[in-house]
Amino acid sequence: MKLNTKKFSLAAGLTMAIIYIICTIFVVLFPEAATKILGWMVHMTLGDEIVRGQAITFGGFFVSLIQFVFYASLSAWIFSSLYNKFTEK
């Protein structure tokens, strides 16, 4: 089975956009809980000073969203290209 690299990378980028939007909403609604969860995810303790210093702006949200979608799409394109190469007969 061959993967369509364009469709696969677009699907991955769209998936990342949805996850990022949900995550941002969570951070806006529950900043302290979000910081604790992030600390657990990256295996480090994040202090309260980080929570107080963070503000989500529309510009920051938009720039980060574009970066996440780009990296997810690029990763999916590389993955699907390698998959297709390794599964050639």
> What pLDDT, in 10s, does the model give residues 49-73?
555 556 778 888 888 889 889 989 9
Q: Spell out the alpha helix ranges (H) of the chain.
A: 5-29, 31-41, 48-53, 58-86
82 vs 52: which has the higher pLDDT:
82
- The residue among 71 and 39 whose pLDDT is bigger is 71
pLDDT tens column, 4-16? 988 889 889 899 8
pLDDT at 31: 85
Tell me the average pLDDT across 37-43.
69
CA 5 vs CA 13, 19, 44: distances in Å:
12, 21, 36
